[in-house]
């Protein structure tokens, strides 16, 4: 039968034989306490390691979020450049008579074509 440290400690604490010298009993009790503390410290260390791993995972998640935001900013800049290109206008003027010119401008604004005459 396997005894964990708590059982080991309680067995020697509660069932010390009268024939065992009290110093030997104290030694067993001390050994059991030390063993229990050692096992407990290992559990605490594993819990700290799990917490560090969770923190590293949160940091990786924050980094992925920052990268995603940067990519989205880059895409938004590209879309803004495309919209700026879409707003470009081309104008041409032709002299029809000595004092008469006809100007035509074609502008593309958000995919709508606007014609203006002057």
State phi, psi for 116 to the nearest 5 degrees: -135, 145
In terms of domains, do 58 and 33 share one? yes
In terms of domains, do 108 and 65 share one? no
Give the pLDDT score at 1.
Answer: 43
How far CA 77 is from CA of 71, 72, 81, in Å, comes to: 10, 9, 6
pLDDT tens across the length of the chain (118 residues): 444 555 555 555 545 455 555 666 777 788 888 888 888 887 888 888 999 999 999 999 999 999 999 999 888 888 887 776 666 777 777 777 777 777 777 776 665 656 555 5
Give the pLDDT score at 68.
Answer: 93
Return the SS3 of 17: coil
Give the pLDDT score at 27.
Answer: 74
**Alpha carbon 22 to chain centroid distance?**
57
* Domain count of the fold of the chain: 2
Give the pLDDT score at 62.
Answer: 94
Alpha helices (H) along the chain? 5-14, 22-86
Distance (Å, rounded) from C-alpha 75 to C-alpha 43? Answer: 48
In terms of domains, do 18 and 64 share one? yes
In terms of domains, do 16 and 68 share one? yes
Structural domain including 102 reads: 87-118
In terms of domains, do 30 and 55 share one? yes
State the chain's maximal CA–CA distance in angstroms. 133
Please tell me the pTM assigned to this model. Answer: 0.41
Distance (Å, rounded) from C-alpha 59 to C-alpha 54? Answer: 9
């Amino acid at each position: 039968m396997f005894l964990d440290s708590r059982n080991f400690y309680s067995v020697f604490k509660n069932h010390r034989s009268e024939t065992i010298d009290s110093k030997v009993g104290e030694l067993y009790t001390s050994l059991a306490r030390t063993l229990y503390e050692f096992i407990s410290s290992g559990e605490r260390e594993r819990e700290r390691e799990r917490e560090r791993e969770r923190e590293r995972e949160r940091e990786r998640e924050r980094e992925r979020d920052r990268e995603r935001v940067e990519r989205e900013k880059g895409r938004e800049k590209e879309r803004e450049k495309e919209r700026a290109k879409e707003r470009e206008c081309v104008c041409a003027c032709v002299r029809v008579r000595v004092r008469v010119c006809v100007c035509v401008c074609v502008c593309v604004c958000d995919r709508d074509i606007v014609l203006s005459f002057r």
